[in-house]
Amino acid sequence: MSDTISDACPTTFGFRVEAESEAVPEVRRKIVALVRDWDVPLPDDTLSDLELLSSELITNAVRHTDSSCAVAVRWTGVRVRVEVTDVSQARPHRRHSSPEAEDGRGLLLVESLATMWGSAPDPAGKTVWFELGPSDGTPPPWSTPGKWAITTDSGAATSGYLPAWAEDDPTEANVPTDQLPERLAGINHRNFFEGPMLPLTAPDVWEGVEEDAVFEGSIDCNPYDPDPDLRVPVVNLQVCVGRWILGLDPHGLAEVAAKLRAHADFLDAKVRPALTAAREDWATHHPSAQQRSPTACPGDRT
């Protein structure tokens, strides 16, 4: 494991975990020790949950990809957030598993113990995250509704508009100055929506059938993207390439058609108006003359 974030940023830490199951116990203990060193106001039972959930996410990432994964730990000022990024694009979904089904049991643990959890596509594959802490929705102490702000260790601040529909607040303090361009380039305002669960198989990848979502997606906005078209809200849909629904009889085909038809209605009646409203709201707060590139310097405003 190699540290990737400097000690100059005391409330954010990242490292890589090799594809070895014996590495997981060391990593989960390291995460708890790190959070203890930050003196965050979390009780011991919550720290125990932190160790357990970190172990579940990292174990799943290593076991299902046979590759290393990246782990990021962050104290937001209210909650501890752990993010695990692996090379698989398959995002986790709750499955109605038997008590003996290890994967289903792990996800049920995350759902039952985490204050919040979720997953997001990543250029490397996907990121699965969870947060532990108060569940009253209190924002970080330096956060302002409708505005995000990233402050460097030199005291310079860069801020921008945070839409109400965005699920995450990129607000952060004490960011090393040389890491600010990377932080800005990574800002992604996002709101997820689910797709219909269908019985999929991938004959060249695995045997059998697994329930998974198709045409799920998110409303996304990347205000510092090099492509100006992606600096305004758009919808991204995930289509399962190489996945098949096999052996359908007329009744089975009718069931699939009904689910896709219902999802098409959902995209048209719910997602499209939400996207239109998001774009109109974004345009109100971002006249085209104020758009910035990812080379924005500390103190620039968006």
pLDDT at 2 over 60: no
Do 133 and 14 reside in the same domain of the chain?
yes
Do 44 and 123 reside in the same domain of the chain?
yes
pLDDT of residue 276: 94
Please state the rounded mean pLDDT for residues 197-205.
83
Please state, as a whole number, how many other Cβ atoms lie within 10 Å of the Cβ of residue 280.
10
- Of 101, 122, 138, at which residue does a domain stop? 138
Total domain count, the chain? 2
Mean pLDDT of the chain: 80
User: Rounded CA gap, 164 and 256, in Å?
Assistant: 34
Buried b (16+ CB within 10 A) or exposed e, 225-243: beeeebbbbbbeebebeeb
Look up tokens 């990737």; give the residue: 4
* Burial of 173: CB neighbours in 10 Å, binned 0-12, 13-18, 19+: buried
In a domain, 224, yes or no: yes
User: Rounded CA gap, 133 and 47, in Å?
Assistant: 10
Point out the least confidently predicted range of 68-77, 133-142, 201-210. 133-142
Please state the rounded mean pLDDT for residues 225-245.
85
Point out the least confidently predicted range of 20-24, 104-108, 178-182, 214-218. 104-108
Do 4 and 134 reside in the same domain of the chain?
yes
Do 126 and 232 reside in the same domain of the chain?
no
Q: Is the pTM of this model over 0.85?
A: no
Point out the least confidently predicted range of 103-107, 146-150, 159-163. 103-107
pLDDT of residue 288: 60
- Those residues whose C-beta lies under 8 Å from the C-beta of residue 105, and which sit 6 or more positions away, are 97, 99
* Burial of 146: CB neighbours in 10 Å, binned 0-12, 13-18, 19+: exposed
Do 109 and 232 reside in the same domain of the chain?
no
Please state the rounded mean pLDDT for residues 241-266.
89
- Of 76, 108, 138, at which residue does a domain stop? 138
User: Rounded CA gap, 31 and 99, in Å?
Assistant: 28
Do 110 and 201 reside in the same domain of the chain?
no
In a domain, 16, yes or no: yes
Name the residue range of residue 107's domain.
1-138
Do 45 and 132 reside in the same domain of the chain?
yes
In a domain, 243, yes or no: yes
Do 123 and 244 reside in the same domain of the chain?
no
